[in-house]
Amino acid sequence: MKELLGLSGVVLVAWEHKAIVESIVPKIPVASGTPPTHWNGSRFDVVLRFDRPDGATGFAFQELFPMLLSGDSDKPLH
């Protein structure tokens, strides 16, 4: 995480969903928005987006629902 947080530009992290909310998200300094603390094991239709403007220390969090497949949900994880 230390190395990831030091990067600039667009960074894509793909990981097992349970590990994301337990091991990765808690280490991201969030300035706005509320990231989930639990991820239902049957949800594969959610993208967690963290934006950090140049010079900012905290990220703005946003939960995205691409709705790519039939049956995908637009309901937040929390």
What is the pLDDT at residue 51? Answer: 95
Q: How far apart are CA 42 and CA 55, in angstroms?
A: 37
Residue ranges covered by each domain of the chain? 2-64
Contact in structure between 45 and 66 (CB atoms under 8 Å): yes
What is the pLDDT at residue 36? Answer: 94
Model confidence over 34-59: pLDDT tens digits?
Answer: 999 999 888 999 999 999 988 898 99
The per-residue b/e assignment along 28-46, b for 16 or more CB within 10 angstroms, e otherwise, is beeeeeebbeebeeeeebb
Contact in structure between 18 and 39 (CB atoms under 8 Å): yes
Confidence of residue 17 (pLDDT cuts 50, 70, 90): confident
